């Protein structure tokens, strides 16, 4: 478990609907200093009398230290299920039981590099804070955001302000380029001499990006999207097969060994089965 994580009662500072999603800001005091792009939070949902006993995990959109009461953590929440709908119904000054920051974070290069950030749907949320950190290190940052339709691309205008170039793709052609995110990656990689890819989004998308990064021999750091029931490494519901430096496959917990992982190490074609030769199998 992330040694910097703490449990606290976080106050809702604001809750604004942005397209299909909610942008929520929480006051977390000094805890914001420990939150980095790629980390996530686990929130108890439904209130004290709720039958929803499991916390819900949400990727950190951005963290800052400029709140009135100290630091802030921002989330982008899609109100799909009962828990997320409860969360997005909260108002300013309400409180939630939060554990943060959890999981691994994206690695930030010590020297300027040419980085490509790729996000699918609201899964792209952690990339905005990452783009700011990379630009502060002198990196060139290109970004590709994609979704099934225009309304599901989060904050495209903010993305445009945050990076050197922004490319949008939609499956239905409602905005940007019609097609999949992966359709545009080879051209961007070649034209901009990309040295590293950072990605967030559906697992199928991450797998397809890894095939491209392997072809170009580019490092690919991705935030995997496995379902998490506890978020702290206890329940074992978020395991996935990953090959280590010793070439041994192990079933790792994405909540504590991830969510950020080296895409080339993940066994993407396991189809939720334990691959042959996995340690302990």
CATH at residue 53: 2.40.30.10
Whether residue 276 lies inside any domain: the answer is no
Within-domain flag for 175: yes
Task: Please give the residue that has the higher pLDDT: either 229 or 138.
Answer: 138
Residue 271, pLDDT > 90, answer no
Q: What is residue 49's predicted lDDT score, i.e. its pLDDT?
A: 82
Using N-to-C axis directions, what is the helix angle for 181-192 and 203-216, rounded to 10°?
30
3-state DSSP call for residue 210? helix
Last residue of a domain, one of 102, 134, 166: 102
In angstroms, the CA 247 to CA 55 distance is 34
Tell me: pLDDT of 67 over 70. no
Q: Angle at the Cα of 54 (from 50 to 55), degrees rounded to 5? A: 100
Beta bridge partners, 42, equal 57, 99
Residue 267 — pLDDT band, cuts 50, 70, 90?
very high
Using DSSP, how many helices (H) and how many strands (E) does the chain show?
5, 15
Q: Which pLDDT belongs to residue 69?
A: 66
* Shared domain check, 146 and 261: yes
Q: Are strands 95-102 and 177-178 parallel, antiparallel or unpaired?
A: unpaired
Strand ranges for the chain from DSSP E: 6-18, 21-27, 40-43, 56-67, 70-77, 95-102, 114-120, 140-147, 165-170, 177-178, 196-200, 219-223, 239-243, 249-253, 260-262
| pTM above threshold 0.85 | yes
Look at residue 261 and tell me whether its pLDDT is greater than 90.
yes
Nearest to 126 by CA among 268, 259, 274: 259
Cβ–Cβ < 8 Å for 224, 258: yes
The CATH number of residue 186's host domain is 3.40.50.80
Our count of domains for the chain comes to: 2
The residue to which tokens 């996995």 are assigned:
278
- What confidence score (pLDDT) does residue 141 get? 97
End-to-end CA distance of the chain: 24
pLDDT band at 70 (very low <50, low <70, confident <90, very high): confident
Q: Are residues 62 and 169 in the same domain?
A: no
If asked whether residues 25 and 56 sit together in one domain, one would say yes
Query: Both 33 and 70 in a single domain?
Result: yes
Residue 155 has pLDDT above 90, yes or no: no
161 pLDDT above the threshold of 90: no
Q: Which tens digits make up the pLDDT trace of 120-153?
A: 987 888 999 999 999 999 999 999 999 999 988 8
Residue 37, SS3? strand
1 in a structural domain: no
Those residues with Cβ within 8 angstroms of residue 271's Cβ, 6 or more apart along the chain or in another chain:
none
Domain that holds residue 186: 114-270
Residues 132 and 44 in one domain: no
């Amino acid at each position: 478990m992330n040694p910097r994580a703490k449990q606290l009662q976080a106050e809702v500072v604001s809750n604004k609907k942005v397209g299909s999603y909610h942008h929520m800001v929480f006051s977390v005091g000094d805890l914001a200093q420990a939150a980095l792009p790629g980390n996530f939070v686990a929130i108890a949902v439904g209130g004290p009398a709720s039958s929803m006993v499991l916390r819900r995990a949400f990727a950190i959109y951005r963290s800052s230290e400029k709140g009135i009461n100290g630091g802030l953590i921002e989330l982008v929440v899609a109100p799909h299920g009962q828990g997320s709908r409860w969360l997005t119904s909260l108002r300013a000054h309400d409180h939630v039981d939060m554990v943060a920051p959890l999981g691994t974070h994206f690695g930030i290069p010590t020297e300027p590099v040419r980085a490509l950030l790729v996000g699918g749907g609201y899964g792209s949320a952690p990339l905005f804070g990452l783009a700011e950190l990379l630009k502060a290190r002198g990196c060139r940052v290109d970004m590709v955001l994609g979704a099934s339709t225009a309304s599901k691309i989060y904050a495209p205008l903010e993305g445009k302000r945050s990076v050197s170039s922004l490319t949008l793709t939609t499956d239905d052609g409602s905005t940007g380029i019609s097609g999949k995110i992966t359709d545009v990656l080879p051209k961007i990689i070649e034209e901009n001499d990309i040295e590293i890819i950072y990605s967030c989004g559906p697992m199928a998308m991450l797998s397809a990006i890894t095939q491209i990064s392997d072809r170009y021999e580019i490092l690919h750091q991705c935030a995997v999207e496995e379902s998490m029931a506890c978020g702290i490494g206890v329940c074992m519901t978020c395991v996935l097969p990953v090959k280590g430096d010793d070439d041994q496959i192990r079933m790792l917990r994405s909540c504590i060994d991830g969510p950020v992982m080296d895409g080339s190490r993940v066994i993407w074609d396991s189809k939720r089965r334990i691959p042959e030769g996995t340690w302990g199998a």
